[in-house]
Amino acid sequence: MNILCVIPARGGSKRTPGKNIKPLMGKPLISYTIEKALESRLVTRVVVSTDSPDIARVARDFGAEVVERPANISEDTSAIDDSLRHAVRHLEAGEGFRPDVVVLLQANVPVRKEGEIDEVIRALLENPEAESVATVYEVDQRIEWMKRVDASGKVTPFMGQTASYRKQDLPELYLIDGAIEAVRTDTLMRTEGNRMAHAYFGERLYAFIHEKKYAIEVDVAEDLEMAEYFLGREHVPLRRGKKTSA
């Protein structure tokens, strides 16, 4: 069973330039994802898909392989699943390596529970009905209570009026958080060109429910502070791997 872990990491970011290699507790942000991927007992290969020489250098320093991503799928509007397909084709054409499963780890999600990558992979492998498994967490900000605000400042309900003011009176809702996603390669390749949200998961996506702290996505400075807090709680050493400047 070949399992390919792909960590997509574009060089460009409008909100936080260079965010994937910004320092976090003494190491580049992406290094936390690489290290957790390399700790997996089930992943066969770990690659970083990037258009950035700086990210590529850091990725290699921390033990990952690098797949150079073409510019046409490295734009702000590029779909992340296209980077997965490109990595699959690149390795198959160049080395004859074709994975059975592709695992996506977001580069800017630094806090992951020990062993959880393998738990998600097993959840997929042990369920023959599943085309994919993704981490999710229960949301507490309810769409039923959200509002629209027009140009004049007038507030109107987004979903219409609701009589429910208590969370416990509403059905549980979950968000796919991007921390860990595992998809069968055949499903990934078959869904190419379908631009509907999350189409690459196929029709039979199963949830792996975990705590929100394992899905902290670093986009702005405040997110770095939150990640640092939880990394400290998880007892992550300040430095591992080869020293590198970010």
Predicted confidence at residue 171, as pLDDT, reads 81
Predicted confidence at residue 13, as pLDDT, reads 66
Residue 131 lies in a domain: yes
Residues in the chain, pLDDT under 50: 236-246
Predicted confidence at residue 242, as pLDDT, reads 43
Strands 3-8, 101-104: pairing is parallel
Contact in structure between 147 and 155 (CB atoms under 8 Å): yes
Residue 19 lies in a domain: yes
Residue 246 lies in a domain: no
- Specify the pTM: 0.87
Number of structural domains in the chain: 1
Predicted confidence at residue 75, as pLDDT, reads 86
14 token code pair: 């409008």
Residue 11 lies in a domain: yes
Q: Coil, strand or helix: which one is 160?
A: coil
Residue ranges of alpha helices (H) inside the chain are 29-39, 53-61, 80-95, 116-125, 185-190, 221-233
Predicted confidence at residue 205, as pLDDT, reads 98
181 token code pair: 């996603």
Residue 162 lies in a domain: no
Residue 187 lies in a domain: yes
Range of the domain at 216: 3-136+175-233
Predicted confidence at residue 158, as pLDDT, reads 86
Of 133, 143, 72, 63, the closest CA to residue 103 belongs to 133
Contact in structure between 206 and 127 (CB atoms under 8 Å): yes
What CATH number is attached to the domain comprising 195? 3.90.550.10
Residue 147 lies in a domain: no
Cα distance between residue 223 and residue 229, in whole Å = 10
Residue 188 lies in a domain: yes
